[in-house]
Amino acid sequence: MITQDQGFFGRLTWDSFPVAALIRHPGTNEIVANAAAAVVVVGVVVVVALLSWFRLWGPLWRDWLTSADHKKIGIMYVVFAVVMLARGVLEGVVMRAQQAAGPGDGFLAAEHFAELFSTHGTIMIFFVAVPFVFGIANYVVPLMIGARDVAFPVMNQISLGLTVSAGMMLMVSLVVGEFSTGGWTAYPPYTGAAFNPGVGPDYWIWAIVVSGIGTTLTGINFAVTIYKLRAPGMTFMRLPMYCWTIICSSILIVFAMPPLGVAALLLAADRYLDFHFFTNDLGGNMMNYANLFWLFGHPEVYLLVLPAYGIYSEVFATFSAKRLYGYNSLVIATMSIAILSFTVWLHHFFTMGQSALINAVFGIATMLIAIPTGVKVYDWMATLWRGRIRFSVPMLYGLAFLMLFVIGGLSGVILANPTVDYQVHNTLFLVAHFHNVLLPGVLFGLLAAYNYWFPKAFGFRLNEGWGRVSVALWTLGFMLTFLPLYFVGLLGMPRRSFSWEDPDFHPYMIVALIGALVVLGALLSVLVQLWVSIRDRDRTRVPAGDPWDGRTLEWSIPAPPPAYNFAIIPRVSDRDEFAAAKEGGAAYPSPAAYEDIDIPRNTGIGFILCVLSGVWMFALVWWIWWLAILASVLIILAIIFWSFDSSTELTIPAEEVRKAHEAWLEQVRQAPAIDRDDETTSRNRGLARPDLEPAT
Amino acid sequence: MLAALVALAVSGPVMGASDSFMDPQGPIAAVQKTHMLRATWLILIAVIPVLVLVPLIAWRYRRRRNSAATYAPNWDFSAGLEFLMWGVPVAIVVVLSIYLWKATHRLDPYAAPFGEGPAVQVQVVGLDWKWLFIYPELGIASVGEMGMPTGRQVALTLTTDTVMQSFMIPALAGQIYAMPGMTTQLHLVADTPGVMQGENTQYNGRGFTGQKFETRAMTQDDFNGWVETVRANGILLDGDTYRTLAMRTDRTEVQAALGTEKMPDNALYFRLDDGDLFHTILGRYHRGTALAVHDQPGTADFGKTPTGQEAGE
Amino acid sequence: MKRAPTHSYPGINLGERHASAHKATEVVTFGFWVFLMSDLVYFGLMFAIYITMIDAQAGGPGPHELFDLHSIFAQTLILLTSSLTVGLAMLALKYNLPRVRIVFWFAVTLVLGLSFLVLEVRDFMAMAEKGGVPQRSGFLSAFFGLVPLHGLHVAAGCLWLIVLGIQLRVMGMTDRIKSRVVRLALFWHFLDLIWIGIITIVYFGGLAYG
């Protein structure tokens, strides 16, 4: 509810900057807050300086920011996700340090700790998991289905722009004002105007709304891409498993993002316009919020984990050198999980006082999800069985996932029992459970994908040794950090506790802190791996494009692929099309004729909308009405002007395609066909020798 | 691995805690514990094969020269295996569902599953950051300490006069949310005398982790004595006192504001006046007029007089 | 190269030989359907919120005091007629009539859409005079969260009519513009559909149960 008279800058004053608090009453808490703000400011300054020093603004603008190429957009998504991941992990470490600081109050103020768990959750879900998942999907899906781009390349760029600008709001909240203290779920009435009149919940609301729009557009884009742009011959039952999971995930987005948008916008109506959707008085009802949020929230976790399942399916098949076991089962299981995920939202608030009947029904519905999930795990085991397993980095992530994920599944089924949930709801047991499914489930999958498809994207392999180090550190770090939390949760420690008194908790808190530091080391090892790999890139190039003896279409083209992906759109006749082609000696055909190819032309609309939506959000958060109106008008005008642009495509002449493609085919002919024994050596130039006869 | 953790946690005395349902002090928590352990063992039927077989398969079929292991690159389906893969989880979930159905109905917090004799009525009000316990039949109220007789059922009716909170005494029963303008219910039974910790598990601001209280389970005689002590030493819980109590204060601050030397160091005792405080609190949200911020307990402005106006209820 | 004519969109005269134009229209129209599906979920949830809050009147004015069925009847007629006129624009496209016919039917639709909005805003003002403002109760919040959301969609549709009308003149009858006409028509019919839901659930339902 807007209460005061506002000046030119709305409610923005000098006191809105954390520096003001540091000057007035310096303490550990203020130092930590200002250090975080300083990291953001220094980070921006350093990036700007580096770009200017190396004169990279032009290339950045031409090759990246205005590109509508799904491959570049995918890479930008992943870079953004990793930057946000770094912040999320650091926040996790600070929180674990606060709790490990022993019985008593620790070194952070309660509200600062609350900001940390709120940003940590919001960032990890909306600005790490979602962009990472769809960054990988952006890169891989069109290549896997034999398409030249996604269905709506410009809309894809806009999705990225909106996601990034929303994520930037969380960065801005470190420097100006403060973030919400209401957790990633932002339950009213706590986040309502009466109890939290500050800017915190408003940052949350607008970041969620804008990134939600971006994600919805992504979901539409990928659903249409997979429905409509598959190469000829690629029937649904020949669709690679990963694409199946992306299509399910996209459908989940289309149906599940609206409830989140509604929840956040109605909360905004309550806060800005004095509506009474979720207020205490005049008929508001916060239970509607809980229902809306979890109508989104539960499908959300599946739209994150399903693509990871898809990645594991590809990885297990490739590195076992074997067809994926139980394809039909896996498809049915994926679809069942997607559908069931809409039927279980109530299990997030078993303790809100519904009848036993309702709780029992939703509890059983929740346990049903364990069936297709269990089937998937068994299918993957059968894929490994009688394979010829290479312990490459993606496979190691996969094996760690299988072992650890079933523990998360176990605790998930326990939580599905309302009887038990009454005890462990809102405790660290729950925190341990969802980290148990999100780290080994989603994050390990994404890291496996990163290691697996990196050579496709950049033309050289990632360092294997450092990759193994990071697998070990992630696994160890996860176990040390989160398994103790199951314990402390059973002992009754509530989540989001900035302090505690029971001395029994102490050893677990210490172990968890050590684990968090190991996780930090794991993150660093990923960065070191990247650095080492770039340094050594000349020894690990795989221009022929197939470093892992891959089975699907993306491995049949150069690494990195040309802008148009496929010189000739392939005709598909097998589920493992490329593996079948290699087996039949039909890989790398020389096309008889080439055609002109249309690719999306560069456009600045995504970047413009990114900036304008950022301004719009900031103006709304700080009640700078003139700026909010101006930004809204400019956003509408930008879209209208863009719609007048009729030259959206760039034609690459057939001759140019022919030259590039035949040069590459020549490169393939020159490359040595290598055995899987040499996969991780510098002999691997990306041409695989089929590995069918017994190794000698 | 989790099984090991659970097994460790089950050894309650080692932890020295009666603050967890792993060391239950009443029949409800005891059933919850048994239910959880039974579910765990059942689920392990599906989990253990994975934990055992994944390393075995990975090792047996690792790629190496002169491997004796069979290699079947095109094998991708087996009807028997499919039957097993779907069948085992289905069977487990069916069994678990039956248990779940029974337990959920039996332990419905609104029902009164255990205990004999008439229930002791307690009205619980969540405030920032303390719980107020009103014993309407006994004419007393307390903060920081909830007395209850053993072997008798205690029927709680809960609400809050601020944001949503979640009330839990782990050693006795699970939690239930409390929401402004609405009531929820919970039933408790304690087997033996003892002190158990109760808490709020829903984050609600800087006093969140201090929003704890002691549950004192006593024999009926001791309980009667406790009621008399509270009544004798308590101050009158009238409108002004309640206003002070409902301010955004933590336990220490409110103890300093309202505590007397006759009360314990970490608890407040009250006598009730004639009004029905609990329903007055509920009614605050159903008056059909907007509730100004300074009339809403739990806000920073509560109790402050807006300039030129009376602070009035 | 002559492909078998894929008449995915026979109604918009893309030309038999333009296989790629057909495919592009097919993709973009399907995408628009998916978007409408997502938008429908928004409305569905707002309907659900309205239903749960129909009793949350908190002593404030309710449906019987506030709803003016005469005005609603007029708005319904106007909106349904506008669906007809959008349909006529589509027919003009199908039979390759002069561009001006499409622009004409767009203009009629625009006038109808704006009239609808004027009536709707008048209704809201009349409600406000009787104390029916969203700040008054949960019920009124739900009402004003839903009905103006539809109104906002109609306003967006009007803006789209104007822009596309200009584009028809400036950019001519290109395949892209034709496919935009298809999508605008879909959008407009979608708004009609939502309006049917609004009169049934919000107005009739409100009067019956409120």
Beta-strand relationship, B140-143 and B268-272: antiparallel
Q: C35 to chain A: which residues are within 8 Å by CB?
A: 220
pLDDT in tens, C141-174: 999 999 999 999 999 999 999 999 999 989 888 8
Residue C4 lies in a domain: no
| CB pair distance less than 8 Å for B288 and C135 | no
Q: In the predicted model, what is the mean pLDDT of residues C126-140?
A: 95
Percent of chain A with pLDDT over 90: 89
Q: Look at residue C205 and tell me whether its pLDDT is greater than 80.
A: yes
Range of the domain at A688: 542-588+665-696
- pLDDT class of B304 with cuts at 50, 70, 90: confident
Please tell me which residue, B112 or A687, carries the higher pLDDT value.
A687
CB–CB of B288 and C59 under 8 A? yes
The β-bridge partners of B134 are: B123, B141
B-C contacts at Cβ under 8 angstroms: 7
Cα–Cα distance between B260 and B289 in angstroms, integer? 37
Q: Residue B66's pLDDT band (boundaries 50, 70, 90)?
A: confident
Residue A440 lies in a domain: no
Has residue A559 been placed in a domain? Answer: yes
Distance (Å) from the alpha carbon of A444 to chain C's nearest alpha carbon: 31
**For residue A157, what pLDDT is reported?**
96
Instruction: Identify whether the C-beta of residue A307 lies closer than 8 Å to the C-beta of residue A253.
Output: no
Burial class of C162 by CB neighbour count within 10 A (0 to 12, 13 to 18, 19+): middle
What region, left, alpha or beta, does residue B167 occupy, with left being phi > 0 and alpha being psi -120 to 50 degrees? beta
Q: Is residue A31 part of a domain?
A: no
A566 assigned to some structural domain: yes
A residues 239-268 closer than 8 Å to C (CB) = 254-255, 257-259, 261-262, 266
Pick from A593, A592, A576: nearest CA to A584: A576
C60 contacts on A by Cβ (under 8 Å): 282
More confident residue, C35 or C3: C35
User: Is residue C78, in this structure, part of any structural domain at all?
Assistant: yes
Query: Who among A287, A375, A502 is closest to B17 (CB)?
Result: A502
Q: How confident is the model at residue B13 (pLDDT cuts 50, 70, 90)?
A: very low
Cβ separation of C138 and A284 shorter than 8 Å? yes
- State chain C's maximal CA–CA distance in angstroms: 72
Task: Give the mean pLDDT of B35-62.
Answer: 95
Count of other CB atoms within 10 angstroms of residue C121:
12
CB B120 within 8 A of CB B152: yes
Residue B3 pLDDT: 53
**Beta-bridge partners for B180:** B160
Please name the residue of chain B whose CA is at the shortest distance from the CA of residue C58.
B288
pLDDT attached to residue C8: 53
* pLDDT at C9 (0 to 100): 62
According to DSSP, residue A494 is labeled: B
Please count the residue pairs, one from chain A and one from chain C, whose beta carbons lie less than 8 angstroms apart: 110
Confidence class for position B307, pLDDT limits 50, 70, 90 = low
Nearest-CA residue of chain A relative to B52? A403
Q: Is residue A684 part of a domain?
A: yes
Q: What are the backbone dihedrals phi and psi of residue A652, each rounded to the nearest 5 degrees, phi first?
A: -100, 120
Q: Is residue A564 part of a domain?
A: yes
Q: How confident is the model at residue B149 (pLDDT cuts 50, 70, 90)?
A: very high
Please state, rounded to an integer, the average pLDDT across all residues of chain B.
90
Q: Residue A616 in contact with residue A631, Cβ under 8 Å? A: yes
Tokens read off for A111: 């509200």
CA A118 to chain centre: 18
Nearest to A663 by CA among A582, A562, A555, A584: A562
C1 band by pLDDT with thresholds 50, 70 and 90: very low
Please state the domain count of chain A.
1
Residue-wise DSSP of A79-106: HHHHHHHHHHHHHHHHHHHHHHT-SB--
Residue of chain A nearest C26, judged by CA positions = A228
- C135 CB neighbours in chain B (<8 A) are 290
Across the interface, whether the CB atoms of A282 and C60 are under 8 A apart is answered: yes
Q: With cut-offs at 50, 70 and 90, classify the pLDDT of residue C2.
A: very low
> Residue range C135-139: average pLDDT?
95
**Which residues pair with residue B130 across a beta bridge?**
B127
Contacts of C136 in chain A (CB under 8 A): 276, 282
Residue C3 lies in a domain: no
CA distances from A285 to A192, B91, B197 (A): 12, 40, 30
Class of residue B307 by CB neighbours under 10 A (exposed 0-12, middle 13-18, buried 19+):
exposed
> For position C158, which CATH number holds?
1.20.120.80
Residues of C in contact with B287 (CB under 8 A): 59
Instruction: Let me know: does A558 contact A664? Beta carbons within 8 Å.
Output: yes
Number of C-beta neighbours around residue C10 at 10 A: 12
Classify the C-alpha dihedral B260-B264-B265-B269 as positive or negative.
negative
Q: Enter the DSSP assignment of A236.
A: G
Residue C48 confidence class, pLDDT cut points 50, 70, 90: very high
Strand partners for A494: A427
Whether the Cβ atoms of residue B93 and residue A371 lie closer than 8 Å to each other: yes
* Cα–Cα distance, A361 to A380 (Å, whole number): 30
Within A238-374, strands assigned E span: none
Q: How many domains does chain C have?
A: 1
* Cα–Cα–Cα angle for A313, A314, A315, rounded to 5 degrees: 95
Domains with residue ranges and CATH for chain B: 21-59+78-107 (no CATH), 116-295 (2.60.40.420)
The pLDDT assigned to B5 comes to: 52
Whether residue C71 is contained in a domain is answered as yes
Q: Which chains, if any, share at least 3 CB pairs under 8 A with chain A?
A: B, C
CB of B288 within 8 Å of a chain C CB? The answer is yes
Q: How many CB atoms lie within 10 A of CB A227?
A: 16
Interface predicted TM-score (ipTM): 0.94
Residues 6+ apart with CB under 8 A from A606: A65, A66, A68, A154, A157, A158, A160, A161
Tens digits of residue pLDDT in B168-194: 999 999 999 999 999 999 999 999 999
pLDDT value at residue A469: 97
Q: Which residues of chain A have pLDDT under 70?
A: 1-6, 691-696
Global pTM reads 0.95
- Could you list the beta-strand ranges (E) of chain B: 116-127, 130-135, 140-143, 145-149, 152-160, 165-169, 173-178, 184-188, 194-200, 212-218, 235-237, 268-272
Q: Which residue has the tokens 């539409």?
A: A220
Nearest to A152, CA basis, from B32, C27, C201: C27
Cα separation of B108 and B114, whole Å? 11
- Beta strands (DSSP E) in B212-304 are 212-218, 235-237, 268-272
- C86 inside domain: yes
Which residue is closest to C138 within chain B, CA to CA? Answer: B288
Indicate whether C2 belongs to any domain: no
For residue C36, being part of any structural domain is answered with: yes
- What does pLDDT average to over chain C? 91
Q: Is the peptide bond before A201 cis (omega within 30 degrees of 0)?
A: no
- What range defines the domain where residue C181 resides? 10-209
Residues 81-120 of B with CB under 8 A from A: 81-82, 84-86, 88-90, 93, 96-97, 99-101, 103-105, 107-111
- Is the bond leading into B13 cis (omega within 30 degrees of zero)? no
If phi over 0 gives left and psi between -120 and 50 gives alpha, with beta otherwise, what is residue A104?
Answer: left
